[in-house]
Amino acid sequence: MGGRARRCDRGEAVSAVCYALPPLRGTATHEGSLADFIWFRTGGPAEWLVRPQDVNDLAAFMAGLEDDTPVLPVGVGSNLIVRDGGVPGVVVRLPKAMAKISVEPGNRVRAGGAAMGISVASGARDAGIAGLEFLRGIPGTVGGAVRMNAGAYGRDTSDILIEATVVMRDGSIEVWPAAKLGYTYRHSDLPAGAVIVEALFGGVPGDPKVIGAEMDRIAAEREASQPLRSRTGGSTFKNPEGHKAWALIDAAGCRGLTRGDAQVSEKHCNFLLNLGSATSAEIEALGEEVRAKVKAQSGVELEWEIQRVGVVK
Ligand SMILES: Cc1cc2nc3c(=O)[nH]c(=O)nc-3n(C[C@H](O)[C@H](O)[C@H](O)COP(=O)(O)OP(=O)(O)OC[C@H]3O[C@@H](n4cnc5c(N)ncnc54)[C@H](O)[C@@H]3O)c2cc1C
């Protein structure tokens, strides 16, 4: 760390050190593996995989980075294709210490950016707070849910978020009321490089038994309809206005389609799978093939919901 790294050419492999890092109390790993933990288990490493110790560590680190250093926050990669050439610059993964959950008066739950949706839903249930049950079915972090406006069963994160604490790219710490995030379907206006470190959610009073039963129902329904134990990235495409993406994909004959070890799931055809040794390039190319076939069959242009990051190999 320290010192000025040489400026790299665009597209250069991330094995080169292109960006120098300021001091950090947490850890920074050069060529840190992302494929080790993201759901697809594919793709290249981060030039720097950074795990800050706490919010202040992250803020000081971000303030010390040179302005042109790219910063990408990741959760558990349940909605991510990391391209095979890896991610230049800094990838921030929040540590377990930033996954704390606490209950506040007024049926509110405060959760660290690294907390999993299921933990937030369970914390709310135990405190008799209803309305957060849908997070039970979304296998990502609070940071990912707030950024993606994740949702299910007619509810989105925007329906329950009161405010989010964000470390901006310049290292300043800001509290954003939900309205500032400009939420629409699976979209927020969070600026590139900003990291969500905490969120405050609001619900309504409820009976823990009823809330628990709803969470169990969600879990069972998911089990029946989604390839939960596969290497996947969740819903590949957004549902176009007035359509279900899976139905368009099915009608275009794409169910089960393969490219190398990448496959359109037979169980839920808006999910792509890595059957074993697929590359990110194969998964992405399969997604593009599906888009082309759906466009030819129905005239509808599918929009990627999965976030595709990094550089091609
Ligand atoms: C089996 C399965 C089922 C799924 N079901 C649903 C569903 O029902 N509804 C739904 O909406 N989604 C669903 N998803 C997709 C996914 O779980 C959500 O999008 C989730 O919110 C992503 O969270 P993550 O922590 O994994 O984020 P990642 O996939 O790691 O990242 C997704 C995006 O969020 C950004 N991000 C992550 N953490 C932060 C942070 N701390 N600060 C700022 N930005 C951040 C990343 O930069 C990236 O742009 C499903 C996925 C799977 C695998």
**CA-closest residue to ligand 1 atom 34:** 144
**CA-closest residue to ligand 1 atom 51:** 234
Catalytic positions are 186, 235, 305
Asked whether 64 and 107 are in contact (CB, 8 A), the reply is no
Instruction: Give tens-digit pLDDT for 149-168.
Output: 999 989 999 999 999 999 99
**What pLDDT score does 8 carry?**
63
78 lines ligand 1 (CB under 6 A): yes
Query: Could you tell me the distance, in angstroms and rounded to a whole number, from the CA of residue 165 to the centre of ligand 1?
Result: 18
CATH code reported for the domain at 27-96: 3.30.43.10
Q: Which residues contact 272 (CB under 8 A, 6 or more apart)?
A: 232, 233, 236, 262, 263, 264, 265, 283, 286, 287, 306
Ranges of CATH 3.30.43.10 domains, the chain? 27-96
- Residue with the two structure tokens 């089990």: 223
Q: What is the 3-state secondary structure (H, E, C) of 74-95?
A: ECCCCCEEECCCCEEEEEEECC
- Residue with the two structure tokens 């299921």: 118
Beta-bridge partners for 304: 237
Asked whether 135 and 165 are in contact (CB, 8 A), the reply is no
**What pLDDT score does 11 carry?**
57
CATH code reported for the domain at 227-309: 3.90.78.10
141 lines ligand 1 (CB under 6 A): yes
97-211 has CATH 1.20.140.10 classification: no
**What pLDDT score does 10 carry?**
54
d(CA 73, CA 171): 14
234 lines ligand 1 (CB under 6 A): yes
Q: 14 vs 22, 33, 80, 138, 313, CA distance in Å?
A: 18, 11, 18, 31, 10
The DSSP output letter for 37 is T
**What pLDDT score does 14 carry?**
76
- For the CA of 146, the closest atom of ligand 1 is 21
**CA-closest residue to ligand 1 atom 5:** 138
160 lines ligand 1 (CB under 6 A): no
Helix intervals (H) in 187-276: 208-225, 245-251
Query: Could you tell me the distance, in angstroms and rounded to a whole number, from the CA of residue 60 to the centre of ligand 1?
Result: 26
Tokens representing 112?
């660290």
Number of H helices, E strands in the chain: 7, 19
Q: Which residues of the chain have pLDDT under 70?
A: 1-13
Q: 85 vs 11, 32, 79, CA distance in Å?
A: 8, 13, 18
**CA-closest residue to ligand 1 atom 21:** 145
CA distance from start to end of the chain = 26
**What pLDDT score does 263 carry?**
98
- For the CA of 166, the closest atom of ligand 1 is 42
The pTM assigned to this predicted structure is 0.95
- For the CA of 157, the closest atom of ligand 1 is 11
